[in-house]
Structure 1
Amino acid sequence: MILENNSNVIVMITREIEGEVIKCHKYWPISVKKPLELKSCSISLQNYQILQYFIIRIFQVVRKSTGTSLFVKHLQFTNWPDHGTPAPAEGFIKYVRYVRKSHLTGPIVVHCSAGVGRTGVFLCVDVVLCAIEKNFSFNIGNIVAQMREQRSGMVQTKEQYYFCYKIVLAVLQKFVTLD
Structure 2
Amino acid sequence: MPNTVQDFLTLAYQENCSCIVSFEQSDGTKDMGEYNPADNQVLKKGQLSVACGRDKVANEYSIQKGLTIEFTGSTQNEGGKSTLRHFEFTDWNQTGNVPCSPAKYVAFLKDVEIASSNGPVLVHCRDGGSKSGMFCVMAFLVEKMVVEHEVSVVNAVRKVKARRPNAVPNQAQFDFCHDCVLEFVRSFKTYSNIGGNI
TM value normalised by structure 1: 0.89
The alpha-carbon deviation at position 112 of structure 1 amounts to: 1.4
Superposed CA deviations along residues 140-178 of structure 1, whole A, max 9, x for unmatched, are 111111111111121111101110000001111234455
The residue that corresponds to 1:4 in the other structure is: 14
Q: How far apart, in 2, do the equivalents of 1:76 and 1:67 lie? A: 28
Aligned-partner Cα distance in 2 for 1:24–1:4: 22
Quick one: distance in 1 between partners of 2:181 and 2:163? 23
| Residue identity in the other structure for 1:92 | Y
Counterpart residue type for residue 50 of structure 1? A
Q: Alpha carbons of 1:114 and 1:60: their partners in 2 closer, same or farther (altered >3 Å)?
A: same
How far off is 1:31 after superposition?
Answer: 2.9
Q: Could you tell me how far apart the structure 1 residues matched to 2:12 and 2:122 are?
A: 8
2:34 to 5, 13, 26: 26
What does residue 25 of structure 2 align with?
15
Q: Is the 8 A contact 1:59 1:74 kept in 2?
A: yes
Assess, with a 3 A threshold, how the Cα gap between structure 1 residues 56 and 175 changes in structure 2: closer, same or farther: closer
**Which runs of no fewer than 5 residues in structure 2 stay unpaired?**
1-10, 194-198
Partner residue, 1:57: 65
In 1, the alpha carbon distance for the partners of 2:187 and 2:118 equals 29
The amino acid across from 2:18 in the alignment is N
Structure 1, unpaired ranges of 5+: none
Question: Alignment RMSD, CA only?
Answer: 2.0
Matched, 1:70 2:77: no
3-state secondary structure, aligned to 1:15: coil
C-alpha displacement at 1:102, in angstroms? 0.2
| Paired letter, 1:127 | F
Please, which moves more after superposition, 129-138 or 112-121?
129-138
Quick one: structure 1 residues 28 and 78, their matched pair in 2 at CA, closer, same or farther if it must change by over 3 Å? same
Give the direction of change, closer, same or farther, for the CA distance of 1:172–1:50 in structure 2 (3 Å limit): same
Shift of 1:5: 0.4
Q: Quickly say closer, same or farther: Cα 1:26–1:41, change in 2 above 3 A.
A: same
Counterpart of 1:128 (choices 131, 141, 155) is: 141
Give 1:94's aligned residue.
107
Q: Distance in 1 between matches of 2:24 and 2:86?
A: 12
How has the CA–CA distance of structure 1 residues 105 and 116 changed in structure 2, closer, same or farther, with 3 Å as cutoff? same
Q: Is contact 2:133–2:164 with CA below 8 Å preserved after alignment? A: no
Paired residue total: 176
Q: Deviations over 1:104-159 (max 9, x none)?
A: 33321011111111111111111111111113432111111111111112111110
1:44 aligns with 2:57: no
Q: Secondary structure at the match of 1:121?
A: helix
Residue identity opposite 2:185 in structure 1: L
Determine helix, strand or coil for the equivalent of 2:60.
Answer: coil
The one-letter code of the counterpart of 1:158 is: Q
